[in-house]
Amino acid sequence: MYIFISVLLFIIATVFFAISISLYRSNYNLVHSYHHKNVRKELKREYSKKISLGMFIISCSLYLTVFLNLCNIDYFSYSLLIGLIIGFYYMYKVQKKYNGGIF
């Protein structure tokens, strides 16, 4: 069971990592349009780079969870929870700053 969970989390982490790289290269079209409709055109590049950092934090926490899971460390779920909270909170702050709110 640990191997199945690790493989699944690794695939998800790789997808999140690829999305964060694409966002860092200013491909903000990956973010739904209502999330960046109020962002000024000159700030969209900076917005996508900061959103990509949040995605990168989440992907790193997923990779750490896979590593801890494969090492049979019992607290692997805490690393996932902490990484998700930090990543989503960072993206929430960026969203609020650049878009004026979540939606």
pLDDT at 103 over 70: no
Residue 35 inside a domain? The answer is no
Residue 33 inside a domain? The answer is no
The span from the CA of 3 to the CA of 40, in Å, is: 45
Residue 38 inside a domain? The answer is no
Question: Do the beta carbons of residue 2 and residue 70 sit within 8 Å?
Answer: yes
Query: Domain span at residue 90?
Result: 2-23+46-99
- Mean pLDDT over the full length of the chain: 87
38, 68, 94 from 86: Cα distances, Å:
24, 18, 12
Domains contained in the chain, number = 1
Question: What number is the average pLDDT over the span 89-103?
Answer: 85
Residue 40 inside a domain? The answer is no
Residue 94 inside a domain? The answer is yes
Which backbone phi and psi does 101 adopt, to 5 degrees? 165, 180
The span from the CA of 25 to the CA of 55, in Å, is: 13
Question: What number is the average pLDDT over the span 5-19?
Answer: 93
Tens digit of each residue's pLDDT (9 = 90 or more) over 16-50: 999 999 989 877 777 776 666 777 888 888 888 89
